[in-house]
Amino acid sequence: MDRAQKAAAVAELNRTFSEVGVVVVTRNNGMTVAQSTRLRNAMRDAGATYKVSKNKLAKIALDGTDYGSVGDMLTGPVGLATSVDPVAAAKVAVEFAKTNDKFEIVGGAMGATPLDLAGVQALATLPSLDELRAKIVGLIVAPATKLATITQAPAAQIARVLSAYAEKEAA
């Protein structure tokens, strides 16, 4: 890798660190290509990315971002799982770690807040951003639906009473 390639890699990592909501640092000790491909596909499906980079370049890219605390975790063969949604990368990493013994979660950060293994696992149990949005919309719509039902009920009852009187008079 020449200087220009290294500078481009650092710039890309720095841009990634400034845009994401969470960084999960993982250690992949001897994963096969098939396992790595499965992990990358699962990350992509969840809206996250998984990259392996040189630790020195990643430490340089961390400068000027909120993820400076991750620098101490960058030792050995590590990979970086990132996502804009603060839960997506953590969820996929924790699920993949359950099924693969060569994949280990070291820690991570959510903005300026450093996370250890327990913190990443706790983050993975939270609902995703889309799930939270759906719950909020449901909570907002529910009272309006109930209000519409309540206001329509008396009108429907009056209509039934008038219909019964009309049928009674016709008979």
Question: Which residues make Cβ contacts (< 8 Å) with residue 149, sequence separation at least 6?
Answer: none
**What is the structure's pLDDT at 17?**
87
Is residue 48 within 8 Å of 81, Cβ to Cβ?
yes
pLDDT in tens, 31-74: 889 999 999 999 999 899 999 988 898 888 888 888 888 888 88
Max CA pair span of the chain: 98
User: Residue 26: enclosing H or E segment and its boundaries?
Assistant: strand 22-28
The pTM of the whole model exceeds 0.85? no
Confidence band (pLDDT; 50, 70, 90) for 139? confident
Question: Which residues make Cβ contacts (< 8 Å) with residue 100, sequence separation at least 6?
Answer: 31, 35, 39
pLDDT in tens, 147-167: 677 777 677 777 777 788 788
